[in-house]
Amino acid sequence: MISKESVIDDLNAVRSQSPLVHNISNYVVMNTTANALLAVGASPVMAHAVDEVEDMVKIASSLVINIGTLSRTWVEAMIKASKTAVERNIPVVFDPVGAGATSYRTVTSLQIIKECRPGVIRGNASEIMALVMEKGHTKGVESIVSPESAIAAAASLNRDTGAVIVISGPVDYIIDEQSVIEVRNGSPMMRKVTGLGCTATALIGAFMAVNKNFLMASAHAMTVMGIAGELAAKKSRGPGTMQMHFLDELYKLSGKEIASYYNAE
């Protein structure tokens, strides 16, 4: 199971292997997530053309799909890349940004999950709820999501898809058929910087590249993300300094800091 040591081992593996992480992501966060992947030790590449996504994913160690600013040609490329990845056992993580906000996002998310079989799905509680509600498992007001109902939705989504489900929030929950890991790191200031949820997804992609146990890989990524955020928040006056310090902390994060801030179970 997850431990201080397992987090440190995987972070060291990312740093030493520097896996190529292929991102088909959104316009808002591409720069941020590329920088976060570099800071954690991975090698990011962004490529979305239908003419090349299959070739690109074949040389990658993992694939990150994020629908933050989706449109038709991008979704086509996401599906093409994901299918190629899954055929070749290249890990795929999916971020259903804004699922539930528009029907296009919810329907597209469900299509991607069905056709592409991502190994991990990461969202906030209302996004995960939306994916399950749409399928008729749950009814309720998505704006009031208790941890319990989000975890129940995640368990349902895991049963239907086989994917590890990550719900990020004040406490992050990482869920498969047998376990619910809770990661209690991070800072409220992280919500004032755009795209840190997308960054979490990208970091999960980096950790899936070095650890084929996706439950562990996801929990390790969320722990590293959360501790870097916590350390950065202490040094920050506001969201501008936060964004900068977050990258520095991710880059410098030591085994000692991980051991000292580790708060998962």
Nearer to a copy of itself, 4 or 58 (CB): 58
56 binds a copy of itself (CB under 8 A): yes
35 binds a copy of itself (CB under 8 A): yes
Q: Point out which residues pair with 165 in neighbouring strands.
A: 121, 175
103 binds a copy of itself (CB under 8 A): yes
Is the separation of the CB atoms in 142 and 129 below 8 Å?
yes
When binding is defined by CB under 8 A, the residue of 14, 48, 166, 217 that contacts a copy of itself is 48
When binding is defined by CB under 8 A, the residue of 101, 114, 159, 170 that contacts a copy of itself is 101
Is the separation of the CB atoms in 171 and 147 below 8 Å?
yes
Is the separation of the CB atoms in 42 and 204 below 8 Å?
no
d(CA 67, CA 75): 8
- Residues 113-152, one symbol each (x = binds a copy of itself by CB under 8 A, - = not), give ----------------------------------------
d(CA 5, CA 11): 10
51 binds a copy of itself (CB under 8 A): yes
Per DSSP, the residues of 18-77 read --EEEEE--TTTHHHHHHHHHHHT-EEEE---TTTHHHHHHT-SEEEEE-TT--HHHHHH
Q: Is 142 helix (H, G, I), strand (E, B) or coil?
A: coil
d(CA 46, CA 48): 7
Q: How far is the CB of 32 from a copy of itself (least distance, A)?
A: 6
- Residues 213-252, one symbol each (x = binds a copy of itself by CB under 8 A, - = not), give -----------------------xxxxxx-xxxxxxxxxx
- Residues 59-98, one symbol each (x = binds a copy of itself by CB under 8 A, - = not), give x--------xxxxxx------------------------x
Q: How far is the CB of 144 from a copy of itself (least distance, A)?
A: 16
Q: Point out which residues pair with 122 in neighbouring strands.
A: 166
Site of interaction with a copy of itself (CB under 8 A):
26-32, 34-35, 38-39, 44-52, 55-56, 59, 68-73, 98, 101-105, 191-195, 236-241, 243-252
